[in-house]
Homo-oligomer: A and B are copies of this chain.
């Protein structure tokens, strides 16, 4: 059993970079009880002093040195954070020197460039893709011509969140097709999907897990029965195999990982937002 260790993600912007790196680092150390706190928009000297005071107080409360993961672009703010006595890990500092040398240029420390201001084109691509995902979610009367990806799966296997993630973070036009019982009685790809074979990606899921999810949604329905879940999953997997549709199980896979695999498998290269 280990004591609690306070961790702070501090940034003069949203703090997304600090939290992403910090979270990745902490997951490499197991058996610790980290309590994490985000401090975003710490963008002037006063706010940095306030942040340092809160960090110091946490150290006193837990009687242990806090850890700070900082993505303050303004490095003078990072220095103030060090006054808290915490171990301060500056996410950018180790890389700025090598990059400046390689590019033969000086970085400019304008805050909030990464997750802040956006141009209208970027905004458009993203929002249009999200509208596309939301309006192509049920598979009914949907035209897949404009889709970049069509996720195929039985109901509740993870299609909708993945489509939305692909749209939000990569501007991908992601549609989905829910396999019906009728579809699953055939061993073939449903006729509507056949013209789009190279856009298809199948999701599968452990039948017991599927049952849990469906049970929550429609308790004690036929839809949520062990038998139906098992039969649907096994029929879907057989069809994916037969038709050579690339497939991934969502059972233990995060939305991020499913999305990355879809992009890698279908060879879609998009910059992440």
Contact = CB atoms under 8 A, between A and B. Distances in A.
A220 interface: no
Nearest to A261: B41
Contacts of A16: 20, 256, 260, 272
B161 A271 contact: no
Interface residues of A, number: 78
Interface string A102-121: 11010111101111111010
A257 B14 contact: yes
A108 B30 contact: yes
B256 A108 contact: no
A105 B5 CA distance: 13
Given A28-B73, A164-B164, A102 B37 contact: no
Contact of A102 (B67, B130, B272): B67
A91 interface: yes
Interface string A241-273: 000000000001111110111011000010111
Contacts of A168: 161, 164-165, 168, 255
Contact of A161 (B41, B102, B127, B161): B127
Contact of A89 (B14, B40, B95, B255): B95
A257 B102 contact: no
From A41, A126, A164, residue with most partner B Cβ within 10 Å: A164
Contacts of A96: 25, 28
A116 B255 CA distance: 8
A256 B115 CA distance: 6
A62 interface: no
Interface string A16-56: 11011101110111111000111011000000000000000
Given A13-B260, A24-B71, A89-B99, 20 more contacts: A16-B260, A16-B272, A21-B95, A23-B272, A24-B114, A25-B95, A27-B113, A28-B96, A28-B108, A28-B110, A38-B269, A116-B256, A118-B254, A126-B161, A126-B255, A130-B160, A130-B161, A130-B164, A134-B160, A164-B168
